[in-house]
């Protein structure tokens, strides 16, 4: 009996559906808000595009293939938000985001470009690191907090350097999901 932690012994008797629900909602203490909405499958390294339009189209494909959201819906909503002002933050990073009708919870994707592209950022620098965020049409304070956390992550010089250099997708994913403000 001493060889097994008590939480495993207790959970072994829970129905499978209950265990799956617990696993789906459990977020380890060392994970940040982004971890809940950014699956590893939505992390793309070395994407080759030549413009903001093309990277938005590729983001549409990521969300369509991984999350079942029509790419045109994603692209249209990203451009609608971008028309209000560039989502480029400077220092080579951007957080394109949009509201999606019918979406139940936020979704994110991370893209590192093979070559930086023009993005109308405040500092005029081209962008190579992008975190895309889709939120439900009725955005809440939680969504603003997620955006704020992403902006803080991308403003962290050490984290940004690791995101630019890390070649292993799983290791890069850990940088994204375990970073703490």
Active site positions, annotated:
97
Tokens at residue 10, please?
Answer: 């207790």
- 8 A C-beta contact, residue 96 and residue 130: yes
Q: Is 102 left (phi over 0), alpha (psi -120 to 50) or beta?
A: left
Reported as half-sphere exposure (CB side, CA atoms, 13 A), residue 13 has a value of 4
Report the 10 Å Cβ neighbour count for 64: 16
């Amino acid at each position: 009996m001493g060889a097994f932690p008590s939480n495993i012994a207790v959970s072994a008797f829970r129905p499978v559906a209950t265990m799956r629900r617990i696993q789906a909602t459990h977020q380890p203490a060392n994970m940040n808000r982004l971890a809940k909405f950014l699956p590893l499958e939505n992390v793309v390294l070395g994407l080759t595009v030549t413009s903001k339009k093309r990277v938005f189209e590729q983001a549409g494909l990521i969300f369509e293939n991984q999350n079942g959201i029509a790419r045109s819906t994603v692209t249209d909503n990203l451009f609608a938000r971008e028309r209000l002002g560039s989502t480029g933050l400077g220092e080579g990073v951007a957080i394109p985001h949009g509201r999606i009708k019918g979406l139940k919870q936020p979704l994110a994707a991370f893209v590192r470009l093979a070559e930086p592209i023009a993005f109308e950022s405040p500092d005029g620098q081209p962008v190579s690191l992008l975190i895309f965020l889709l939120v439900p049409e009725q955005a809440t304070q939680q969504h603003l907090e997620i955006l704020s956390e992403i902006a803080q992550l991308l403003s962290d010089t050490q984290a940004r350097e690791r995101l630019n250099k890390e070649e292993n997708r799983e290791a890069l994913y850990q940088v994204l999901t375990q970073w703490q403000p």
